[in-house]
Amino acid sequence: MGYSEKLLDYFQNPRCVGEIPDADAVAEVSNPVCGDVMKLWVKVGDGRIQDAKFKAQGCSAAIATSSYATEMLVGMNVADARLITRDQIAEALGGLPVSKIHCSVLASDAIKEALKGF
Amino acid sequence: MRPEVVAAMMPVFTEHFGNASSIHWFGQHAKSLIDDARQHVAKLINAEAGEIVFLSGGTEADNLAIRGIAESQKSKGRHIISSQIEHHAVLHTCKDLEKQGFEITWLPVSRDGLVNPENVRSAIRKDTILISIMHANNEIGTIQPIAEIGRIAAEADIYFHSDGVQSTGKIPVNVKDLGIDLYSMSAHKIHGPKGVGALFVKKATTLKPIMTGGGHERNRRSGTENVAGIVGFGEAARLARLELMPEMLRVRELRDRLEAGLKSQIEFIHVNGENAPRLPNTSNIMVDYAEGEGLVISLDLKGVAVSTGSACSSGSLEPSHVLTAIGKTPDEAHGSLRFSLSTMTASEDIDFVVEVLPGIVERLRELSPYYKGNSGSDH
């Protein structure tokens, strides 16, 4: 399958799964390439992301990258969070097989969408 | 591969290494081994030995059948009838011919994955030279009404090719009764070696070879014979006739038990092609609110190997053309799983899948923003 141990761990035991009922922003994005979807809830205060949760319907790489990116977000200041790139997420999970590189765009798109208004 | 197949092949590497085209004893012995294999493969589909052309596999068989007829018949016409659910070996070969000025009618299939023979009849034109409809589909296992299509082709005096890679050895095939002129087969689908296959070419069929050279295989396919592969294919065909097909009854029971078990334990799943005649060893299941690749990886981590028609797992990132043709949206195809059973599948394997898959599906659905009241829009 060509996935790293770390990626499989985030797929099998995803962190930050769920919803935030009183979220400050909610973003829902779908991958234009394969149709995977991710929904991201964020709570923002003092220029920082206080909390973040996600849900996703997609392949193992989509779920793992979504989870990792959401976990990364918590505690970050908004300006830095906006700079998170798909490559950063993919690299942190040990890289992705060539045919799955498109998956990491889901999480970076969701972050940009959710932080649009801040 | 079956151990018997390996055992039949080994002496070809170590002792009988002659070139079947040579007239010395080594060569003639190799030739007789090929002749035996040809008999076994012919018997499997009720053909004559002289109608079997050995080549590198199902893909080459499809190429030789379609290009061979197209080239030999193009002075009569350039129209070919095929279906939307063919294997890529047929699909891409026909698309290539389209670029060369041939016209292809791509027949649709029903929601159950079947070609309607009446659609074949009405697609026939004066310049139709070939009908190519697969016997059984590789993704959903549906068995096409080949005998009826064969009759229609014979009445109209048009060559009829059928890709039999999935059906050979799994269901009875009688090329004479089915009215077939060309039939593609692959050894590795019946526990034989990879890299070898055959094309049945009915006597007196005019076929232009796609491989030019020394005129092997009665001028149908040049190139030194893959003797070991052919011998392995012959042994696999012999075993298929004696054991594989009778065993398929047991395989069908396992498949039905798998489907019944999963349907009783998982809501929102569907069996593709459920109402059509299907191969006994294939099950294509659609799981709503979950994605196929994630299901495949989860099963793989538990030691179960299956495949999916999800766009996310295909190299092309397109959803399966077969699932699209039976009317599934890309979202629906997203959650498809294909189980391929064999005589090596044990009853416990089925129990294991029925035990672990519901939990896997439930876990992935819990992650989905669309499942149940999980908020969000309809999906």
Q: CB-CB: which of A8, A37, A99 is closest to B369?
A: A37
Q: What pLDDT is attached to residue B138?
A: 94
Give strand pairing partners of B132.
Answer: B82, B161
Angle CA B156–B162–B165, to nearest 5: 175
Model confidence over B331-358: pLDDT tens digits?
A: 888 889 999 999 889 999 999 999 999 9
Q: Taken in order B144, B147, B152, B153, is the CA torsion positive or negative?
A: positive
Question: Are A18 and A43 contacting, i.e. CB atoms less than 8 angstroms apart?
Answer: no
Instruction: Work out the pLDDT band at B22, boundaries 50, 70, 90.
Output: confident
Q: How far is CA B152 from CA A15, B46, B117, B159, in A?
A: 60, 21, 8, 10
Distance from CA of A32 to the nearest CA of B (A): 10
Do the Cβ atoms of B313 and A59 come within 8 Å? yes
What's at B326, amino acid-wise? Answer: I
Residue B31 predicted with pLDDT over 70: yes
Average pLDDT score, chain B? 93
Q: State the number of CA atoms in the 13 A half-sphere of B170 facing the CB.
A: 30
- B 320-339 → A contacts, CB under 8 A: 330-331, 334
Structural domains of chain B, with CATH: 3-240 (3.40.640.10), 247-367 (3.90.1150.10)
Whole-structure pTM value: 0.90
Mean pLDDT on B137-156: 97
Tell me the average pLDDT across B274-294. 95
- Show the domain range for A37: 5-114
Alpha-carbon torsion (B108, B146, B36, B64), positive or negative: negative
Tokens of B44: 């499997």
The mean pLDDT value for B366-379 works out to: 69
Q: Cβ(B289)–Cβ(B370) under 8 Å?
A: yes
Give the CA angle between residues B312, B318, B324 to the nearest 5°.
Answer: 115
Residues constituting chain B: 379
pLDDT tens for residues A72-117?
999 999 999 999 999 999 999 999 988 888 888 999 999 999 999 8
Nearest CA in chain A to B310: A34
Can you give the pLDDT at residue B373?
57
Q: For residue A90, give the CATH number of its domain.
A: 3.90.1010.10
Beta-sheet pairing, B159-163 with B182-186: parallel
CB-based contact, A58 to chain B, within 8 Å = yes
Residue in B294, B330, B376 closest to A58 by CB = B294
How would residue B372 be classed by pLDDT, with cut points 50, 70 and 90?
confident
pLDDT at position A2: 83
Residue with tokens 């009778």, as numbered in its chain: B246
Report the share of chain B in percent with pLDDT over 70: 97
Task: Specify the number of domains making up chain A.
Answer: 1
Which of B295, B299, B302, B312 is the best substitution to test chain A (most A C-beta atoms within 10 A)? B312
Residue-level length of chain A: 118
- Stretch B296-312: mean pLDDT: 87
Per-residue pLDDT tens for B97-113?
999 999 999 999 999 99
